[in-house]
Structure 1
Amino acid sequence: MLERLEEDADAWVSTVNPDATPCLVPLSFLWSEGSLVMSTRDSRPTVRNLRAVPRARVALGHTRDVVLIDTRAGILGPGELPGREADAFAAKLGWDPREKPGWLYLRLRPERLLAWREENELADRELMRDGLWLAR
């Protein structure tokens, strides 16, 4: 599971606005400092939703090998992400949001993490609760 966080490049990110309208988008990410770092345009519904309700659910993988992560979200301006993380993001993903006007970073801190491959793993799928690892 940690390998997936370190090696995968893309995830589905689900947010909701105050009227409970869901928004689901794919975003690229870097696993850094125990959080997912993503980037998107400031004008996107995902950013508006996170400003109103700073929580997101992130899904990695496919239905037969999935990791679901409930997160608390923070929004960072282009200069607010530490340089080493911004450099690592650009190196991993092959593009640099700092070079794009109107783009910002999202820091999604996991609070709960679920993972499974098949039905027989459903009972033991909770790997993190309240930001604390239950299994390694």
Structure 2
Amino acid sequence: MTERESARGPEQRKQDVLDHLEKDEDLWVSTASADGVPCMVPLSFVRDRDTLLLATRRTNPTAVNVTPSGQVRAALGHTRDVVLIEGTAEIVEGADLPTDSGDAFAEKLGWDPRGRPSWVYLRITPHTVKAWREVNELAGRELMHAGTWLV
């Protein structure tokens, strides 16, 4: 028999989400093409200006799928510690990226896509954030709604 951890309160869940966003280096990003074909890939990221900043080749389906709707889902953690983020992504050219944002990306991840014309940044603005570990945390799993933290 598996012993379950006690459910975390909303404040602890939010803090755990923020810890993931600061410490984790990769997340899963899901987009869909104009005709509904899903695409899910792992990408490296940094939390920057209350958004998530990622980089990918401009011809990869993830970047192509960002326009026109910009809708994305991103997931962190494993299946027993889920952070699910729904938001809007926009393409940012390396030349248009603020220097401190590019520096933060390069420092955290150890590589710098600026100056590589085949690469673009994706800036995801979260609208909804949910976090849960087990069934005992399903109630109250929504921590952000319409871009505002609920806790």
Task: With the length of structure 2 as denominator, give the TM-score of the two structures.
Answer: 0.87
- Give 1:61's match in structure 2, choosing from 65, 77, 87: 77
Q: 1:6, CA displacement in angstroms?
A: 0.8
Task: With the length of structure 1 as denominator, give the TM-score of the two structures.
Answer: 0.97
What residue in structure 1 maps to residue 102 of structure 2?
Answer: 86
What residue in structure 2 maps to residue 51 of structure 1?
Answer: 67
- 34-43 vs 91-100, which deviates more? 91-100
Q: 1:81, CA displacement in angstroms?
A: 1.1
The letter for the 2-side match of 1:84 is D
Q: Which runs of 5+ in 2 are unaligned?
A: 1-16
1:84-115: per-residue Cα shift (whole Å, max 9, x none)? 01001000000000143310100000000000
Q: Which runs of 5+ in 1 are unaligned?
A: none
What residue in structure 1 maps to residue 55 of structure 2?
Answer: 39
Within 5 Å, give how 1:1-12 maps onto structure 2.
1-12=17-28
Indicate the RMSD between aligned Cα atoms, in angstroms. 0.8
Q: Which has the larger radius of gyration?
A: 2
1:13 matched to 2:22? The reply is no
SS of residue paired to 1:47: helix
Q: 1:124, CA displacement in angstroms?
A: 1.0
Assess if the C-alpha contact under 8 Å between 1:59 and 1:66 holds in 2: yes
Assess if the C-alpha contact under 8 Å between 2:94 and 2:115 holds in 1: no
1:26 matched to 2:54? The reply is no
- Return the alpha-carbon distance in structure 2 between the equivalents of residues 81 and 130 of structure 1: 25
**Number of residue equivalences:** 135
Assess if the C-alpha contact under 8 Å between 2:27 and 2:75 holds in 1: yes
Q: 1:18, CA displacement in angstroms?
A: 1.4
Higher strand share: 1
**Identical amino acids, percent of aligned pairs:** 53
Q: Which runs of 4+ in 1 moved over 4 A?
A: none
